[in-house]
Amino acid sequence: ALLARPFFNVETGAADSRLIVSPDLVEGSLGIRAQSDFQSYEILHRQKCGDSDWGHIDFLLGYRAVHLQDNLLINESTLSLSGVTSGTRYELADSFDGENTFHGALIGLEIQPFSGQRWTTDCMLKIALGTTRQEARIAGFTTSTPADGASSTTEYGLLTQASNIGSYRDNEF
């Protein structure tokens, strides 16, 4: 069985892969955990605008909040079985956390046509204007432990490099 981790190699400018399991070359394991959490709520004040022969219209005014959080963690553990690195164990981790939060004022209309006794129809048009706070956190590490046991650790993994590690924040209307 062969298991490899694909990635884009920025040094060569081409697609590449890192072996996780390959007979007589490397043995290892790969763990991936992805989580998403989405929450949204709004508070509305409804004011009746009027009635007609076909139904009535309400004006909506309110507040909306939306929160989205995504996390991705990739853990890799490999043991080199041949060549100059034979007996060396590699532990890699890549961690990506993203968070977006929106707060804004909401306006809209709700149209409720009069209909039969068994069915009703509503049409709601809403728009919210506000600010979105965006935050991303990128971290990783690589630990290599040769057969003699003297390990070394760097602060980047396979996908997390010195060029992208850190915390990034932005606010947009």
**Predicted TM-score of the model (pTM):** 0.80
- Residues 6 or more apart whose CB falls under 8 angstroms from that of 117 comprise none
For each of the chain's 173 residues, which pLDDT tens digit applies? Answer: 899 999 999 889 999 999 999 999 999 999 999 999 999 999 999 999 888 777 889 999 999 999 999 999 999 999 999 999 999 999 999 999 999 999 999 999 998 887 767 777 889 999 999 999 999 999 999 999 998 888 999 999 999 998 999 999 999 99
- pLDDT attached to residue 116: 67
**Rounded Cα distance, 107 and 92, in Å:** 49
- pLDDT attached to residue 53: 77
